[in-house]
Structure 1
């Protein structure tokens, strides 16, 4: 957290807040946030005099595009951006401040201190970590049923860890994988090779529809997430299984179970997403 819908919402709000603003100076208060260049002072000096043109997204990463530079930022678990008057007191856990010539700041706050920032020449960000190994964007035209199957069908793993792997599909995190698998009626521990053609089709549709609905709702505010304007997301009110342990399934009424899959807390309906029934279907389809 945040996942694709939350990062996309932050991107959209930041564009309104910072596009066209010129950086006068940069203050780095927690050096380890800056991953590239290695010297935080070099990072700060390089940005002075540059103007933010737009804000884009690649997976769970923000791409802050300036005239001649690209800043790649990962919010990790609790990172957030906000724009404030420069004279306003700086809140606790604010680690990087971009001071604009118009008297405002773009401030990065991160209680957990896991966020990262990388600075690149335009275009170089796609050929180097952290963006160079990212997989398919699930809300773009290239994310077809055929591409989904070709990426995952022959992998030797369970379907949930594969969906969480950003080298295959980007932006999917724990919340939305659980929701998509429930919508597709697939148990999270199924192997990809056991899925039928109909199940692959349902999964593809569920991934796209779940993420799109979440983006439309501004993401999910489960813990501390807010967008660039300090507003909460609302998709948490539409979640069907995630966070609903022991509550009745909205489809069949069975109690929602929670278990660990690949080390991640996983919510599913044991009736709608039956592991045994799924395996029988796969054998029948052979």
Structure 2
């Protein structure tokens, strides 16, 4: 895993009850009466409910054994994490992994004005600014490309050059894209599965640009282009998306 799993964790949690399941950005937060367990799935991890008698497969790393079920963490790349934050360490929001995260995309305060204020003075490309996670969380590589397409913004545009009006469109596009993804059960390319092992259907229904390099834009017919930004693939329509 990205960081060692605390060796005392099984003893800390044995016989305890999960009081609440929450989330902050891409971190899952399991609340107990004496602390919070922080879980991150990395790039290709998954949590599945499995029968109690099912033997672990290769790359299965952690089991949460409940009264009538087992929740299993599968992570081939080992970029995920399972950490413990005791109550005596302070509020979970102050944890170093969470303290600098941006606003949640469905927070009522998130809008174009929020983005425009954050992007002021930022010379980095708009897509990389979104991926940084300190303006708004939950917009990963796939949904950044898709949101920028919906908003009509070239991903190479410097963040500080995105006008207030276009920030309004971008905030709305981010919410719409993530809403579609949630309704479709996520976006399976290679690894993603739901809690019961089912794939997400976002790409079968909604994908406009991601992994469509060379194919015609669904709006104007121009071939979709692919470029690399910060070692991540970006897809966009050179006609529909303007700098």
So what's the TM-score if we normalise by structure 1?
0.79
| Cα offset, 1:91, TM superposition | 1.7
Counterpart of 1:6 in structure 2 is none
Alignment partner of 1:126 is 2:93: yes
Aligned-partner Cα distance in 1 for 2:200–2:97: 26
| Structure 2 counterpart of 1:248, from 213, 216, 220 | 216
Equivalent position of 2:72 in the other structure: 107
Q: Deviations over 1:37-64 (max 9, x none)?
A: xxx3311211112111232111111111
**Distance (whole Å) between structure 1 residues aligned to residue 237 and residue 65 of structure 2:** 49
1:123-162 to 2 correspondence within 5 Å?
Answer: 124-162=91-129
Which residue matches 1:257?
225
Q: CA deviation at 1:108?
A: 1.1
Determine which structure has greater relative contact order: mean sequence separation of CA pairs < 8 Å that are 6+ residues apart, divided by chain length. 1
Between Structure 1 and Structure 2, how many residues are aligned? 240
Partners of 1:124 and 1:34 in 2: CA distance: 21
Question: In structure 2, which of residues 22, 28, 33 is the aligned counterpart of residue 67 of structure 1?
Answer: 33
CA positional deviation for 1:140:
1.4
Structure 1 position 124, deviation (Å): 3.0
Contact 1:158 1:189 in 2 (8 A): yes
Q: Partners of 1:261 and 1:63 in 2: how far apart?
A: 31
Is 2:111–2:172's contact at 8 Å kept on the other side of the alignment? no
Partners of 1:110 and 1:193 in 2: CA distance: 37
Shift of 1:103: 4.8
2:187 corresponds in structure 1 to 220
Per the TM alignment, residue 137 of structure 1 is displaced from its structure 2 partner at its CA by: 0.7
Question: In the alignment, which of 242, 266, 277 is matched to residue 234 of structure 2?
Answer: 266
For structure 2, the residue ranges without an aligned partner over 5 or more in a row are none
Aligned-residue CA RMSD (Å)? 1.7
Offset at residue 33 of structure 1 (A) = 5.6
Aligned partners of 1:228, 1:34: CA distance in 2, in Å? Answer: 24
- Given the superposition, is the C-alpha separation of residues 121 and 258 from structure 1 closer, same or farther in structure 2, using an over 3 Å criterion? same
| Structure with greater proportional helix content | 1
Higher Cα radius of gyration: 1
Pairwise CA distance, 1:110: 1.0
* 1:116 alignment partner in structure 2: 81
Aligned to 1:196: 163
- 1:73 is paired with a residue whose SS is strand
Q: C-alpha distance in 2, partners of 1:190/1:114?
A: 30
How far, CA to CA, are the matches of 2:25 and 2:234 in structure 1?
22
TM-score, normalising length: structure 2: 0.92
> Alignment partner of 2:47: what SS?
strand
- For residues 101-121 of structure 1, the C-alpha deviation after alignment (integer angstroms, 9 at most, x for no partner) is x25322111111111011113
